[in-house]
Amino acid sequence: MKLSEQFQVLRRAARYTFSVNRKYTILLIMSAFLSSIVGYVPIYFSAKVIDSLIAKAPVETVILYVALTVGIVFAVNLTNTYISSEKSAASSAMWRNEDWSYSEKAMQMAYGSIEDPEVTRLRYRIRRESQTGHNLYYLYQHIEQFAGQVTKITASTALTVSFFALPSVPVCFKLAIVAGLAITLMFQLYATKKTNALDRDFMALSVDMNIIAEHFLSYIEHYGAGKDIRLYDMGKFVGGSYLALDQDYWERGLKNSYIKAAWALPVAMLNTVLKFGIYAVLICAALQGGITTGSIARYVACIMMLAENLLSAAKTIQSAFDNNHYLKRYFSYFDIPNNMYQGSLTVEKRDDVEYYVEFRNVSFRYPNTDSYALRNIDLRFRIGEKLAIVGMNGSGKTTFIKLLCRLYDPTEGEILLNGVNIQKYDYDEYMSIFSVVFQDFSLFAFQLGEIVASSRSFDEDRVRSCLIKANFGSRLDEMPEGVHTYLYKGYDRSGMEISGGEAQKIALARALYKDSPFILLDEPTAALDPVSEYEVYSDFNTISGDKTTVYISHRLASCRFCDQIVVFDNGHIVQHGSHGELLCDGCGKYSELWHAQAQYYTVDG
């Protein structure tokens, strides 16, 4: 990374720390300053006490110096204790906000970014790097360290500058100390640069390994996997796979540690030689009578601390530059733009309910792919109709729904609502007109009413009504707290476990509660047998009333009651009509699929 880019990242990082939690950053610097300066108070006044005793100064003078030492140290420590307590509270708030920022970013992203595997990999990587201290933790650590080191360097310099001004101390002694500091400092910087580069390379090579290992652990530790692990004796297979990854990681880390130790050895030797040289110079100067007895203690302590903190500051600066590589990647995740055009038009409210949706020559391919998921889709349907989208797995049915809901925008063509491109409507308002139940829907471990209403506050009667309409009424009656019963055990140990079919009914109730003009069901009952799915869809068709309902299924009989059936195949619409019309075309795809699936249905077509 170029030096100009390094400073650019540092400037952004500084602005970021103040924007996230200004109070914490200020308290951090103040605490570092006070913790660093307090050690120099006894050094300064101890020299004064020694010189006063040797000079046989009045007792009052000695007592004054002792009182100042104790008083100033007590006042500084008392102030720092208060600041540290405030800093601790601010730190907790700051790290909670930082952790929440990942979730907040995920909700603000375009859905295409959420599905992008590269974005997922980036998020895993920066979170893993954050867990090892990189990114923000090291950023705040470097601020604290550098503030303390600058304070110590300034104090040490102030207390030793008189040494370099003493005419009685040979110039060669002074130059020897400066030269020793410069050489050790340069080697410290170079060694730190090399060891940090080793760590960066090690982290980069371990990204995929860490992601896979975390998936293994999540699977092993999840109670849902416990049955499979025991019934299929998967312990050795799964555990062995994780341990193999862990062993590889450990061996790489051990090799990395040996190389870093090889760099640390000459640095430690140089530091030792430097300290020995400083002692030798000061002792020689004292023997020649160049400094007073009290000043010897002060100069020894301060010059040693100056050397130590110059080296530490150099290491901190180099580490901060190294951390900039991680910060740059960290910021790149939060800089991912939401390129979905937000629009501004209000969705029209019509009394005659004459709404039309039109796909006009729509084609779509997912990001970073060359093949089209949908190709040249032309379709128009009126709001209030029951539309079925059928076809084999992978034919483009779910992609059609994602485009209709504006989870993605078409690669080519346009989608219109009442003759207006849907991209021109206010994005949030347009999204609000859809209630969707996907095959891979999620139910959180909240209260049942909260889940159905998607809100902390909810209308209990309305929730109950929607659950009853979704055929969940009998199960609801068995729940001890009714709609206030927690599902699962994530937040409440008495939470109720439910079956997959019951979860599907709750998801359908959630769609009803939203009361949107569009209801889209994307194979939410795929786990059910064909007859059961048909019964669910038939009941829901009655419940949904005059709402526009789009049913997606690869099972044809489940959707034969719909006004229109659209048949997808390899990303194209190959047929469009009613069940009877499509079945009459004996050479069509619908007829082919129908007769292939007929053996699974107990109801004749």
Task: Show me where the domains of the chain are located.
Answer: 3-334, 356-600
Q: Judge whether 267 and 220 are in contact, CB under 8 Å.
A: no
Q: Judge whether 341 and 423 are in contact, CB under 8 Å.
A: yes
Residue range 117-156, pLDDT digits in tens: 889 889 888 888 887 788 888 899 999 999 999 999 999 8
User: How far is residue 229's CA from residue 241's CA, in Å, rounded to a whole number?
Assistant: 13
Q: At what angle do helices 171-205 and 235-287 cross, to 10 degrees?
A: 170
User: How far is residue 180's CA from residue 176's CA, in Å, rounded to a whole number?
Assistant: 6
Rounded to the nearest integer, the mean pLDDT of the chain is: 84
The whole-number average pLDDT for the span 523-551 is 72
In eight-state DSSP terms, residue 495 is P
| Gyration radius from the chain CA atoms | 36
The whole-number average pLDDT for the span 15-33 is 88
Choose from 23-27, 268-272, 342-346, 522-526 the range with maximum mean pLDDT. 23-27
The whole-number pLDDT of residue 592 equals 85
The CB density around residue 242, as the number of other CB atoms within 10 Å, is 17
The whole-number pLDDT of residue 112 equals 86
The yes or no reply on domain 356-600 and CATH 3.90.1150.140 is no
The whole-number average pLDDT for the span 407-428 is 92
User: How far is residue 562's CA from residue 384's CA, in Å, rounded to a whole number?
Assistant: 11
Q: Which tokens sit at 75?
A: 């006042």
3-class state of residue 455 by DSSP: coil
Q: Is residue 566 classed exposed, middle or buried when 0-12, 13-18 and 19+ CB atoms within 10 A define those classes?
A: buried
Quickly state the pLDDT bin for 353 (edges 50, 70, 90): low
* 594, HSE (Cβ side, Cα atoms, 13 Å): 22
Rounded to 5 degrees, what angle do the CA atoms 505, 104, 522 make? 30
Q: Judge whether 340 and 409 are in contact, CB under 8 Å.
A: yes
* 409, HSE (Cβ side, Cα atoms, 13 Å): 14
Quickly state the pLDDT bin for 97 (edges 50, 70, 90): confident
DSSP lists the bridge partners of residue 388 as 551, 565
The CB density around residue 15, as the number of other CB atoms within 10 Å, is 10
The whole-number pLDDT of residue 600 equals 55
Rounded to 5 degrees, what angle do the CA atoms 496, 508, 454 make? 70
Q: Which tokens sit at 171?
A: 């110039």
Q: Is the pLDDT of residue 62 over 90?
A: no
Q: Write down the number of H helices and E strands in the chain.
A: 20, 10
Residue range 101-113, pLDDT digits in tens: 888 888 888 888 8
Q: Judge whether 377 and 397 are in contact, CB under 8 Å.
A: no
Q: Is the pLDDT of residue 165 over 90?
A: no
Q: Judge whether 216 and 245 are in contact, CB under 8 Å.
A: yes
The whole-number pLDDT of residue 290 equals 64
Backbone torsions φ then ψ of 486, nearest 5 degrees:
-80, 140
Q: Which tokens sit at 439?
A: 């095959």
User: How far is residue 331's CA from residue 333's CA, in Å, rounded to a whole number?
Assistant: 5
The whole-number pLDDT of residue 349 equals 62
Q: Is the pLDDT of residue 602 over 60?
A: no
Nearest to 136 by CA among 4, 26, 16: 16
DSSP lists the bridge partners of residue 416 as 358, 421
Residue 138 host element (H or E): helix 136-165
Chain length of the chain: 605
Residue range 260-283, pLDDT digits in tens: 888 888 888 887 887 787 778 777
The whole-number pLDDT of residue 605 equals 41
The whole-number pLDDT of residue 394 equals 84
Better-scored residue on pLDDT, 335 or 304: 335
Tabulate helix, strand, coil % of the chain (nearest 5): 65, 10, 25
The whole-number pLDDT of residue 424 equals 92
Q: Is the pLDDT of residue 433 over 70?
A: yes
Better-scored residue on pLDDT, 203 or 552: 552
The yes or no reply on domain 3-334 and CATH 1.20.1560.10 is yes
DSSP assignment of 292-355 equals -HHHHHHHHHHHHHHHHHHHHHHHHHHHHHHHHHHHHHHHHHHT----S----BPPPP-SS---
3-class state of residue 356 by DSSP: strand
The sign of the CA dihedral 596, 597, 598, 600 is positive
Measure the N-to-C terminal CA separation of the chain; round to a whole number of Å.
68
Q: Which tokens sit at 11?
A: 């400037």
In eight-state DSSP terms, residue 444 is -
The whole-number pLDDT of residue 527 equals 60
Determine the residue type at 271. N
User: How far is residue 522's CA from residue 505's CA, in Å, rounded to a whole number?
Assistant: 14
DSSP lists the bridge partners of residue 549 as 386, 519
Beta strands across the sheet bearing 356-364? 374-382, 356-364, 412-417, 420-421
Backbone torsions φ then ψ of 364, nearest 5 degrees:
-150, 140
Backbone torsions φ then ψ of 375, nearest 5 degrees:
-140, 120
Rounded to 5 degrees, what angle do the CA atoms 536, 539, 545 make? 135
In eight-state DSSP terms, residue 241 is H
Q: Is the pLDDT of residue 560 over 80?
A: no
3-class state of residue 232 by DSSP: coil
User: How far is residue 118's CA from residue 79's CA, in Å, rounded to a whole number?
Assistant: 48
Q: Judge whether 418 and 503 are in contact, CB under 8 Å.
A: no
DSSP assignment of 147-203 equals HHHHHHHHHHHHHHHHHHH-TTS-HHHHHHHHHHHHHHHHHHHHHHHHHHHHHHHHH
Q: Show the beta-strand stretches assigned E in 433-560.
A: 434-438, 518-522, 548-553
Better-scored residue on pLDDT, 226 or 38: 38
